[in-house]
Amino acid sequence: MIDSTALLTDRYEYTMVDAARQAGTADRECVFEVFGRRLSGGRRYGVVAGTGRVLEAVADFRLSDDELRWLSDAKIVDPGTVDWLANYRFSGRITGYREGEYYFPGSPILVVEGTFAEAVLLETVVLSVLNYDSAVATAAARVVSAAGSRPVVEMGSRRTGERSAVAAARAAWITGFSATSNLEAGRSWGVPTMGTAAHAFTLLHDSEEQAFRAQVAALGTGTTLLVDTFDVPTAVRLAVEVAGPELGAVRIDSGDLASQVAEVRELLDSLGATSTKITVTSDLDEYSVASLSASPVDSYGVGTSVVTGSGYPAAGMVYKLVAHKDDDGEWVSVAKKSSNKASVGGRKHAFRRLGDDGIATAEVVRVDEHGSAPTHSEEHDERLLQVTLVEDGVPDPQWLGAEGTRRAREHHAEVRAELPPDAFRLSGGDPVLPTLYR
């Protein structure tokens, strides 16, 4: 049974539809746009993630008899609107940035076209997904950048909500994490999973040696043994004694990681375990990963910081009406003028301007009459950023499921090469690309 997303929203979405139906404006054709006014924490770029999940949420936005009865009993909307909601299906069009794409302030990340009533109902669930997933993806991309060629595993499930954990694992994998500890992310989205044992497994047994022998017997000598339950040097010697020099890896989860990693590498080499890898965990973030760049670390496990957006758990995106048809059928551009929350009216077409060397120099946003979205740029040095995601209410299957997630990961890896080197500095600063309105 498909779980409905129709009540994963705010009350005012429904009361707006109710009032608009009574006013006769609910069926006006509209254009809504998702964008961020700024990047969180002085970061130099953002990464779009959650698009595949948004498309599933739109498809699942329908109301059962139980939900309709609740809306009626709670007097959220009038009986006529309840009847209208019984047949609700989004039938409009959605375009937007490909998942895994970089974005900047003002980027029209998602454009939703349909009647006011159809499109406004989607606001909260769309923002719920994009704000969280993009915050995680942006944090994860910074970790990947700090790690260089060394793999990073996502392991933050116990530090966020159970469904958010799945979304976080997916977003992190899109931006370059090598695997996750979360099994549902593997089942639902095709993210590779990995994991061996925690301290509890060592403490369960009568000795550390007994625990190591049990793990090696079950998982083979290629497993990763956790060596910081008691004394790290003693555990490393024991690990090599039990598994032999073919031991896959040792994991360190506490202490002064830089000094311990150097000591463990020297000890492993002296014991003949020169191919045994060292992985470190212990509340890492992009800054601590960067600080270990000169250490002989082979891989990282990152949890809390990535699933919480490394301090910025929401990307700050908004969902705004930018154009609608009036009673004469003419398009009218609309925008907020509020202080510090002003928006730009009109439908937007977005492009990435590239230099002769293929490095991006600007985000170009063209504002025009509603019209149809272009299929290419008229400028030879610009790449069109928006693609069709939903047509006539039907999501394009290429962006869905495990295959869509894999495409997003590949796209992110491709476009990463477009950003200038300054984009990957961890210090705060202005967005690495200016947003130019044309």
Q: For residues 287 and 413, state if they share a domain.
A: no
Q: Are residues 300 and 319 in the same domain?
A: no
CATH of the domain at 234: 3.20.20.70
In a domain, 142, yes or no: no
For residue 339, the model assigns a pLDDT of 79
**Per-residue b/e over 30-47, b at no fewer than 16 CB within 10 Å?**
bbbbbbbeebbeebbbbb
Report whether pLDDT(1) > 60: no
Q: Which of 288, 308, 328 is the last residue of a domain?
A: 308
Please indicate whether residue 374 or residue 32 has the higher confidence score (pLDDT).
32
- Using pLDDT thresholds of 50, 70 and 90, give the confidence band for residue 374: low
In terms of pLDDT, which residue wins out, 391 or 374?
Answer: 391
Q: Is the pLDDT confidence value at 332 over 70?
A: yes
pLDDT band for position 370 (cuts 50, 70, 90): low
Based on the fold, state whether residues 300 and 158 are members of the same structural domain: yes
The total number of structural domains in the chain stands at: 2
343 band by pLDDT with thresholds 50, 70 and 90: confident
Domain extent at residue 97: 11-136+312-437
Share of the chain above pLDDT 90, in %: 94
429 inside domain: yes
User: 224, 253 in Cβ contact below 8 A?
Assistant: no
Average pLDDT, rounded, for the chain: 95
- Kindly indicate the confidence band of residue 377, based on its pLDDT and cuts at 50, 70 and 90: low
| Domain co-membership, 201 together with 296 | yes
- Asked whether residue 144 is domain-assigned, the answer is no
Residues 162 and 87: their CA atoms lie apart, in Å, by 31
Among residues 146, 170, 137, the alpha carbon closest in space to that of 46 is found at 137
Reported as a pLDDT band with limits 50, 70 and 90, residue 107 is very high
pLDDT of residue 216: 98
pLDDT bracket for residue 266 (50, 70, 90): very high
The pLDDT of residue 288? 97
Q: SS3 of 225, please?
A: strand
130 and 164 part of one domain: no
Is the CB of residue 322 less than 8 Å from the CB of residue 348? yes
Task: Examine the domain organization and report whether 163 and 289 are in the same domain.
Answer: yes
**pLDDT tens for residues 56-104?**
999 999 999 999 999 999 999 999 999 999 999 999 999 999 999 999 9
Tell which of 276, 291, 308 closes a domain.
308
- Looking only at the bridges linking them, the beta strands covering 29-36 and 93-97 are unpaired
Query: What is the CATH number for 39?
Result: 3.20.140.10
What pLDDT, on the 0 to 100 scale, is given for residue 337?
87
Domain assignment present for residue 148? The answer is no
Pair (189, 252) in one structural domain: yes
Which of 258, 283, 308 terminates a domain? The answer is: 308
Question: Rounded mean pLDDT of 377-391?
Answer: 88
**pTM score of the predicted model:** 0.95
Asked if residue 166 and residue 132 are part of one domain, the reply reads no
- Clarify whether residues 86 and 218 are in a common domain: no
Is 5 a domain residue? no
Which residue would you say has higher pLDDT here, 337 or 26? Answer: 26
| Co-location of 326 and 209 in the same domain | no
Per-residue tokens: 162: 């159970």
Domain assignment present for 6 = no
What does the pLDDT read at residue 73? 97
Residue 400 resides in a domain: yes
Residue 273 lies in a domain: yes
- What is the three-class DSSP state of 291? helix
Model pLDDT, residue 375: 57
What is the DSSP pairing of strand 299-302 with strand 152-154? parallel
What is the tens place of the pLDDT at every residue in 291-328? 999 999 999 999 999 999 999 999 999 999 999 999 99
What pLDDT is recorded for position 342?
81
302/322 same-domain check? no
Residue 53: is its pLDDT beyond 80? yes
Does residue 378 surpass a pLDDT of 70? no
